[in-house]
Amino acid sequence: MKTKVWAFFLLFIVSCQGWAAVGCDLNDPDRDVKRLFPSSTGYKTAYQSIEKSGGQALLKEVEALLGDEFQGLYETIDVPYTIYTIYKGSDIIGYIHGINQKGVYGGLQVFLGVDHKGVITRFYYQKLTSKKAALMRENDFAQQFIGLSWEDFKSYLPKTHEGGSEKVKQIKNPNVDDAADFYSTLRAVKKNLILMQVFVFENKERAQ
């Protein structure tokens, strides 16, 4: 019996092939969707990538909107993004989308819940490695993002940490000792909102 357990285990691990870039999915979509949108009755999952949606031209467009280049080994054109469309009955009440962002001590997974107009209703770190993680995960910090939208972040520049609407400028870093993860979070939020525009709202406009 023990040999069989090992056999199944090893068959599983030697067979696993996952050459695609790692995306950013909710750990437990059923539970997380209900938590982020308590009034939801269901959701649909769609997978998008910059490569499939517009290729190199779209990458340039996204980088221009972001005001920063995609960097490093993992922020690549083929990263799959998972968009959760949230329903209440047959009506769409919002979307959930997360992205991976390089932090000081590890990857940040920043999820946003937005309503059908693209206004942030929930901010959620699914993963965060930081010496001050507890501060960053406090509700007060997350609340500062509620009500903001792409329009607020449009003029924010991740490279210089300047710009953005007054509301963006007022977001306070909970970690007074180090701002690196805070700025990474702002970049992640802006990138997340851009990709939501590209994958969801611009598609909707085109469809209309």
Q: Which residues bind other proteins (CB under 8 A)?
A: 2-19, 21-22, 27-28, 31-32, 35, 72-74, 100-108, 125-131, 133, 137
Transcribe 169-189 into DSSP letters: HTPPPS-TT--HHHHHHHHHH
* Shortest separation between residue 90's beta carbon and other proteins, angstroms: 28
What is the phi-psi region of residue 147: left when phi exceeds 0, alpha when psi lies from -120 to 50, beta otherwise? left
Q: Which is nearer to other proteins, 6 or 47 (CB)?
A: 6
Whole-number Å distance between alpha carbons of 128 and 60? 28
Count of CB atoms within 10 A of residue 108's CB? 25
Please report how close the Cβ of residue 187 comes to other proteins at its closest, in angstroms. 12
SS3 label, residue 49? coil
**Closer CB to other proteins, residue 76 or residue 144?**
76
Q: Which is nearer to other proteins, 74 or 162 (CB)?
A: 74
Question: Is 85 within 8 Å of 95 (Cβ atoms)?
Answer: yes
Shortest Å, Cβ 103 to other proteins: 7
Q: Residue 188 CB, nearest distance to other proteins (Å)?
A: 11
Q: How many Cβ atoms sit within 10 Å of the Cβ of residue 58?
A: 16
127 versus 167: smaller Cβ distance to other proteins: 127
Q: C-beta of 207: minimal distance to other proteins in Å?
A: 29
**E strand or H helix that includes residue 167:** helix 166-169
- What are the start-end ranges of the E strands in the chain? 42-48, 81-88, 91-102, 107-114, 120-127
Is the separation of the CB atoms in 107 and 129 below 8 Å? yes
Query: Measured from the CB atom, is 32 or 152 closer to other proteins?
Result: 32
The least distance separating other proteins from the CB of residue 182, rounded to whole angstroms, comes to 15
Cβ neighbours of 83 (radius 10 Å) = 17
- Cβ nearer to other proteins, comparing 28 with 162: 28
